[in-house]
Amino acid sequence: MAQSWASFLLLALFSSSLLVCGSNGERVFLYPQSQKVSSIVSQRYRTAYHFQPPKNWINDPNGPMYYNGIYHEFYQYNPNGSVWGNIVWGHSVSTDLINWIPLEAAIERDTPSDINGCWTGSATILPGNRLVIIYTGADPEKRQVQNIVVPKNLSDPYLREWTKAGNNPVIQPVGPGLNSGQFRDPTTGWIGPDGLWRIAVGAELNGDSAALLYKSKDFLNWTRVDHPLYSSNSSSMWECPDFFAVLPGNSGGLDLSAAIPNAAKHVLKMSLDSCDKYMIGVYDLKSDTFIPDTVLDDRRLWSRIDYGNFYASKSFFDSKKGRRIIWGWTNETDSSSDDVAKGWAGIHAIPRTIWLDSHGKQLLQWPVEEVESLRGNEINHQGLELKKGGLFEIKGADSFQADVEIDFELTSIDKADPFDPSWLLDVEKHCREAGASVNGGIGPFGLVVLASDNMEEHTAVHFRVYKSEQKYMILMCSDLRSSSLRPGLYTPAYGGFFEYDLEKEKKISLRTLIDRSAVESFGGGGRACIMARVYPVAVVDGVAHMYAFNNGSTTVRVPQLRAWSMRRAQVNVKGME
C-alpha cells in the first residue's frame, strides 16, 4: 500500500530537524549539529561486492584485460597508507569479474624511469598472444615518461611477475610545446592504416589539451606522429584518454587489434573537470586523426560517461564474451583524516558493458551480467500505482546490499514542464533546485534508498520529464544532500539529462545497486549513469528502508518492481591465493 511522502517529511520535521522553505519553495531540512552520531570508522561502510583492496588507498583502474582465461585488474595503489602517494600497480585476478584474488604489486617504483611513481597505463595483446603493458612513470626530475613491462613467466596463469624493458623509458616528453609534467596515461594500442601500432598519450601541448599520437613497429621503439590524434583549446590537459571502436546499435565489443568494420564509429574518452567525458566520431585513416561528429566549444556540454563520482575509467575488449567493459574509480567523499582513521580509501565502480546506441549518438552502459550471480531472494511487485505524494516501501530485501530494478510508466505526458537548455550548463544546480520534494508536472519519481526510520537520512534517485520543442528530455538526479547526518561530508545533488522518445516508449527504467556506502544507478536503460558514495548513520546502526515514490502531479504506474538482496562477493580476501 502506498504511503504519503508528506507524512514522512512531517515526521522528520517534528523528530529532530528544522524545515525551512527556500526561495523556490523547496523544503530543506536543517539538522542540529550537536546531535551525536556514530564514528565513521566502521567496517560497515566497506562495500560488499564493489572492488577494493583490503586496506590503503586506491585510485585509477589500470590495464584491465582478459588473458588466457583470467581477468586482470591492476590499479593505482599506495601500499603504505590510505592517502595518495607512493603509487605502485596493485594487481588482482578473477574468473568472473566479481570475485577477486589479491596478488603482490605488479609494477613497483624501482628504476630511474618510475622512481617517483608508477602511474596509469594500458595493456595490449599483440599477435601470437604476446602481452605488453605501457604505463607512465615519473623520473628523478619528475618528468612523466612512458615505460614498458612484459610478463616474466607466461606459464603462471596469474602473471604475478613482470619484467621492465631494458630501453625504458620508451617515450620521453620531447618536442616543441610539450609540458613534461603533463604527459601521461597511454592507451591500449591499435593498428593503423600502415600496419604500425598506435597509442595515444594524454598531454598538454602549447597550453591545449591533446591526445598525442605515437607509432611503432614492435611496441618497443616509438616515434611521435607530427600531429595529435585530437586536440582541443577548451582545456589544458586530458588525463586517462581511452580510444575504442563501437558499432551503432550493437552491444558487442570490437577488438582494436583486429580489423574494424567500415560502419564502426570511434569514441575518444578523456578525464577532466573531475569527471569522464567523451566524443563520438570517426577515425580518419588518411589523416590518421579522430574527427568528432559534433564539436562543442563549451566543455560543460560534452557527453559524460557518468554524472556522479566516477573518474579515470579504462575499457578493454573482453574476448571471452565479445563485449567491451569499462571500469571507473570512485573516491571517498569524507575527509582525508577520516580515511586515515578508517585505513582505506577508494573503490571501483561495478564493471559495465558499454556500447553505442542505434542512433550512433550516445554510449549506453549496464552492469556486467556476472553481478547477477550475487542475487539472493527476489521481491517482485506488479501493477503498482503512485499518485502525487505516493510512497511505497520495498520490504523483504536487504536494504544495505540490494539490486533494484523498477519500470515507471507514465499515465500521461501532457503535463511535462518546459525544458530550459541553460540547465545543461549546470545540471547539479538544477537538481538542487528541483529536488525530490519539489512538485513538478511529471516527476520527481524514483527510488529512495538508505533511509532512516523517520527519513531524516535518505538518498533519492529520481527522474523528471521535460518537453523541449521537438523532443522530451529526462532529468535524472541522485541527491545526496540528506544522505547522512554526519558533518563535513561532500553531499552534492548529481544529475544528468538524456533524450527519450516518450511517444514510442512510455516506460522509463531505473536500476540501482546499493552496496553500503555505494549507490550506483542506471537510468533509461543505461542512457544516464550516476555513481555515488554515502555514509548514513543508518548503515552503522543497522536499520534502513527503501521506497518507490512519486512527488509529481501526474500519476505514475509501476508495472514491475524487482529487488534482490545481494550476497557478499569474495573481493581481495587474504588467503584466497
* The three-state (H, E, C) secondary structure of 237-297, written as one string: CCEEEEEEEECCCCCCCCCCCCCCCCCCEEEEEEEECCEEEEEEEEEECCCCEEEECCCCC
Span 264-290, average pLDDT: 97
List, in order of start, the domains of the chain with CATH numbers.
Answer: 56-369 (2.115.10.20), 375-566 (2.60.120.560)
Per-residue pLDDT at 6: 52
What DSSP line would sit under 113-127, residue for residue? TTTT-EEEEEEEEET
C-alpha cell at 410: 507514465
Rounded average pLDDT over 147-167: 97
| d(C-alpha 305, C-alpha 271), whole Å | 10
pTM for the full predicted model: 0.94
Question: Which of 319, 341, 389, 332 lies closest to 517 in space, CA to CA?
Answer: 332
Residue 417: pLDDT band (50, 70, 90) is very high
Helix (H, G, I), strand (E, B) or coil at 50: coil
Contact indicator for 110, 116 with CB cutoff of 8 Å: no
Q: What are phi and psi of 421, to 5 degrees?
A: -60, -25
Q: Mean of the pLDDT values across residues 117-132?
A: 96
DSSP state of 498: E
Could you give the C-alpha distances from 309 to 215, 371, 520, in angstroms and in order? 34, 20, 9
SS3 category, 399: coil
Please give the average per-residue pLDDT across 8-19, as a whole number.
40
Q: Quick check: helix, strand or coil at residue 161? A: coil
**192-211 in b/e burial notation, b at 16+ Cβ within 10 A?**
eeeebbbbbbbbbbeebbbb
Q: What is the pLDDT of residue 7?
A: 54
| Residue-level pLDDT at 576 | 53
**The predicted structure's pLDDT at residue 508:** 97
* CA pair distance 32, 28, nearest whole angstrom: 13
Asked if the model's pLDDT at residue 382 lies above 60, the reply is yes
* Higher per-residue pLDDT: 524 or 259: 524
Dihedral angle computed from the Cα positions of residues 569, 572, 573 and 574, in that order, rounded to the nearest 10 degrees: 170
pLDDT at 316: 98
Transcribe 351-364 into DSSP letters: PEEEEE-TTSS-EE
Among the listed residues 60, 318, 398, 403, the single catalytic one is: 60
Mean pLDDT of the 60-73 span = 98
Q: Does 32 have pLDDT greater than 80? A: no
So what's the pLDDT on residue 486?
95
Can you tell me the distance from the alpha carbon of 339 to that of 325, in angstroms, rounded to the nearest whole number? 29
CA distance 255 to 278: 19
Q: Which residues neighbour 114 within 8 Å (Cβ) at sequence distance 6 or greater?
A: 107, 135, 137, 138, 139, 147, 168
pLDDT above 70: percentage of residues in the chain: 93
Bond from prior residue into 186 cis (ω within 30 degrees of 0):
no
Label the pairing between strands 417-418 and 27-30: unpaired
Residue type, 547: Y
Position 16 confidence tier, pLDDT thresholds 50, 70, 90:
very low
Cα separation, 115 vs 196, whole angstroms: 30
What is the model's pLDDT at position 315?
98
Q: Is the pLDDT of residue 34 over 60?
A: no
Measured between alpha carbons, how far is residue 548 from residues 37, 393, 517 in Å?
27, 6, 20
Instruction: Round to whole Å and give the CA distance between 513 and 566.
Output: 9
CB 107 within 8 A of CB 88: yes
Strands 459-467 and 417-418: parallel
Q: Is residue 344 over pLDDT 70?
A: yes
Is 339 considered catalytic here? no
- Specify the pLDDT at position 228: 97
Q: What is residue 31's predicted lDDT score, i.e. its pLDDT? A: 36
Residue 540: its H or E element:
helix 537-541
- Looking at residue 30, its pLDDT comes to 39
Of the candidates 189, 218, 190, 187, the residue with the CA atom closest to the CA atom of residue 203: 187
Instruction: Dihedral sign for Cα 368, 369, 373, 378, please.
Output: positive
Q: Give the confidence band of 25 by pLDDT, cuts at 50, 70, 90.
A: very low
**Is 417 within 8 Å of 440 (Cβ atoms)?**
yes
pLDDT at 19: 35
Element (H, E) at 223: strand 223-224
pLDDT grade for 575, boundaries at 50, 70 and 90: low
Cis peptide bond prior to 173, omega within 30° of 0: no
* Per-residue pLDDT tens over the stretch 163-201: 999 999 999 999 999 999 999 999 999 998 899 999 999
Contacts with 44 (C-beta within 8 Å, 6 or more apart), sequence order: 400, 516, 539, 540, 542
Residues paired with residue 93 on neighbouring β-strands, in sequence order: 72, 101
8 Å CB contact between 171 and 214: yes
Give residue-wise pLDDT tens across range 227-244: 999 999 998 899 999 999
Report the SS3 class of residue 421: helix
Distance from C-alpha of 480 to C-alpha of 491, rounded to nearest angstrom: 5
